[in-house]
Amino acid sequence: MSEFLQLLTPAGTRVAPDPGAGWYGDPVARPAADPATAHHAVEQLAAHAAELSPSDLRVAYRHMVLTRAFDREATSLQRQGELGLWVPSLGQEAAQVGSAMATPATDMVYPSYREHGVAQVRGLDLRDIIPVFRGTRHGGWDPRAHNFHIYTFVIGAHTLHAVGHAMALQQDRRRGLEGPAAVTVYFGDGATSQGDVNEALVFASSAQVPVLFLLQNNHWAISVPTTTQSRVPLANRADGFGIPHLRVDGNDLIASYAATRYALTRMAADGGPFLIEFVTYRMGAHTTSDDPTRYRSREEEDAWRARDPIARLRTLLTDEGETDEGFLAAVDAEAHELGASVREFTRANAPGEFPEVFDNVYATPNLQVDHERATWDAYLARGEA
Ligand SMILES: Cc1ncc(C[n+]2csc(CCOP(=O)(O)OP(=O)(O)O)c2C)c(N)n1
Ligand SMILES: [Mg+2]
């Protein structure tokens, strides 16, 4: 029985879903859903994997390479003192790009703080992430522009926001209003120990709202290993909440895409939540303030480097004759240009005044916020800032 769903091996070879299905969990087979058997899931997952055309795979490859280039540049910029902090996504590109490519543009996405690959797929200008880490702007971008919420640094808090959002969608639907189908939320292995995340799972299950929990198990919560967070695979925890789940090779672009498509399709049929655990690895430091050599071995890092998500997809594309030197070189050139443009943007990026910090606190006018805005305006007017 396989540990997780894999459709593309580290050697870059396609494989069929293993019907042993140790990666599949369904504590409550709901009548409205598809016949929720592991066998049925195998067929559906294979069908979703087949949706990815060669051109889609090239798009995915490009997203992953650009994300990595952006991440590498931002890491260097922090080292040069241009950013206060950076949170690397290195190694998690397949889980992020695969799941994001499977998510409709109309569905709201709640990232945590490491989802640069999801931002890239949603169409955010990646440079918009920079001011958050340079300390020049609050939030960073308009969440409505790409249905991509601002980063949340308070571990797990946004899982509750996502569930609340999904409850609103459910209410709209009951009133006969058209709207997006689901909400997705990204969080980490460490976050699963947080009260907020457990409350979010309870509320999502009790209210049966369409929220997709996308758990990136990158094996570490700063210096605490996943094995300390849980004695069972994290996906199995969803059983206790009555939430169906999949455990997926998060370094496998095809499995990450297919699993997300499967989950969203099933949620559309039965309305309830779903959880996917992406088993991946944080190849970089937790943040640029962290030194992973203090708590993990070189052997462990090397073992995961051999499962690199980008190399795996490049091998597949090459072996299937779906790419050539021209395409690979063009993507590399674009990545190089992105790095240069991020560098230029960052160095020129000055602190803003971000008056919008007062704008989005409440939907309607609020006396306290009005007072705070007036105090801030008066402070600026005195010229002491
Ligand atoms: C509520 C809260 N508690 C503690 C922290 C400090 N903190 C920042 S990141 C982190 C670990 C998170 O690990 P995980 O959920 O696995 O996500 P990863 O960083 O690995 O992506 C902690 C404890 C925080 N930001 N918020
Ligand atoms: Mg983690």
pLDDT digits (tens, 9 = 90+) for 187-211: 999 999 999 999 999 999 999 999 9
**pLDDT reading at 132 higher than 50:** yes
Q: Whose CA is nearest to atom 8 of ligand 1?
A: 155
Token pair of 293 as six digits: 């050599």
Whichever domain contains 183, its CATH number is: 3.40.50.970
Residue 32 has pLDDT above 50, yes or no: no
User: Are 27 and 238 within 8 A, CB to CB?
Assistant: yes
Q: Are residues 50 and 190 in the same domain?
A: yes
Q: Is residue 16 part of a domain?
A: no
Question: Beta 220-221 vs 108-110: how paired, if at all?
Answer: unpaired
CA of 237 to the centre of ligand 1 (A): 19
Quote the CA–CA distance of 9 and 17 in Å, as a whole number: 11
Q: Does the residue 17 lie in any domain? A: no
Residue 218 shares a structural domain with residue 299: yes
Residue 13 domain flag: no
pLDDT category at 261 given cuts 50, 70, 90 is: very high
For residues 111 and 68, membership in a common domain is answered with: yes
Report the percentage of the chain scoring pLDDT > 90: 85
Judge whether 2 lies within some domain.
no
CB 341 within 8 A of CB 66: no
Establish whether residue 11 lines the binding site of ligand 1, counting it when its CB lies within 6 angstroms of any ligand atom: no
CA gap 372, 17 in Å, rounded: 56
Asked whether 16 and 41 are in contact (CB, 8 A), the reply is no
Contact 184, 99 (CB under 8 A): yes
Does any ligand 1 atom lie closer than 6 A to the CB of residue 219? no
Q: Beta strand pairing status for 245-249 and 24-25?
A: antiparallel
Residue pair 154/78 in contact (Cβ under 8 Å)? The answer is no
For residue 11, which phi and psi values (nearest 5 degrees)?
A: -80, 0
Radius of gyration of the chain, Cα coordinates, nearest whole angstrom: 21
Q: Which residues are designated catalytic?
A: 282, 286, 295
Measure the CA dihedral 69/70/73/75, to 10°.
-110
Q: Which amino acid is at 215?
A: L
Query: What are the pLDDT digits (tens) for 210-247?
Result: 999 999 999 999 999 999 999 999 999 999 999 999 99
Is residue 283 one of the residues assigned to a domain?
yes
**Do residues 276 and 370 share a domain?**
no
For residues 331 and 68, give the distance between their C-alpha atoms in angstroms, rounded to a whole number: 12
Query: 33 pLDDT exceeds 70?
Result: no
Ligand 1 pocket mutation pick from 71, 114, 155 by most atoms within 8 angstroms of CB: 155
pLDDT for the residue numbered 270:
87
Q: What confidence category does residue 38 fall into, taking pLDDT thresholds of 50, 70 and 90?
A: low
What gap in Å lies between CA 344 and CA 328, rounded to an integer?
Answer: 25
| Full residue range of the structural domain in which residue 185 is found | 24-352
Q: Are 60 and 326 in contact (CB under 8 A)?
A: no
Do 364 and 243 have their domain in common? no
Q: Is 190 in the pocket of ligand 1 (CB under 6 A)?
A: yes
Protein residue with least CA distance to atom 17, ligand 1: 188
The verdict on residue 99 lying in a domain is yes
Percent of the chain whose pLDDT exceeds 70: 96
Q: Determine whether the shortest distance from the Cβ of 218 to ligand 1 is under 6 A.
A: yes
229 Cα nearest atom in ligand 1: 16
DSSP characters over 325-337: HHHHHHHHHHHHH
**Are residues 239 and 269 both part of a single domain?**
yes
Mean pLDDT, the chain, as a whole number?
94
Q: How many CB atoms lie within 10 A of CB 138?
A: 13
Q: What pLDDT does 355 receive?
A: 75
Q: Are residues 276 and 304 in the same domain?
A: yes
**Residue type for 219, please?**
H
**What residues contact residue 226 under an 8 Å CB cut-off, 6+ apart?**
189, 217, 219, 220, 234
Mean pLDDT of 328-339: 98
Please work out whether the CB of residue 153 comes within 6 Å of at least one atom of ligand 1.
yes
With a 6 Å cutoff on the Cβ, whether 116 touches ligand 1 is no
Q: Is residue 226 part of a domain?
A: yes
What is the CA(157)–ligand 1 centre distance, in A?
A: 11
Which helix (DSSP H) or strand (DSSP E) does residue 120 occupy?
A: helix 116-122
pLDDT at position 289 over 90: yes
Q: Are residues 311 and 378 in the same domain?
A: no
In a domain, 15, yes or no: no
Shared domain check, 382 and 328? no
69 lines ligand 1 (CB under 6 A): no
The total of other beta-carbon atoms located within 10 Å of residue 355's CB is 11
9/15 Cα distance (integer angstroms): 7
- Which two structure tokens, joined as six digits, stand for 100? 């994001």
The CA 96 to ligand 2 mean position distance, Å, reads 14
User: What are the percentages of helix, strand and coil residues in the chain, rounded to 5?
Assistant: 50, 10, 40
Ligand 2 centroid, distance to 282 Cα (angstroms): 7
Q: For 151-280, where are the alpha helices, taking DSSP H only?
A: 157-174, 195-207, 226-229, 237-241, 253-270
What distance in angstroms lies between residue 260's CA and the mean position of ligand 2's atoms? 20
Q: Measured from the CA of 157, which atom of ligand 1 is nearest?
A: 1
Is residue 331 located within the same domain as residue 379?
Answer: no
* End-to-end Cα spacing for the chain: 62
Residues 238, 296, single domain; the answer is yes
Give the pLDDT confidence of 69-84 residue by residue, as tens digits. Answer: 999 999 999 999 999 9
Per-residue confidence (pLDDT) for residue 67, from 0 to 100: 98
Total domains in the fold of the chain: 2
Residues 226 and 333 in one domain: yes
Q: How far apart are CA 39 and CA 44, in angstroms?
A: 9
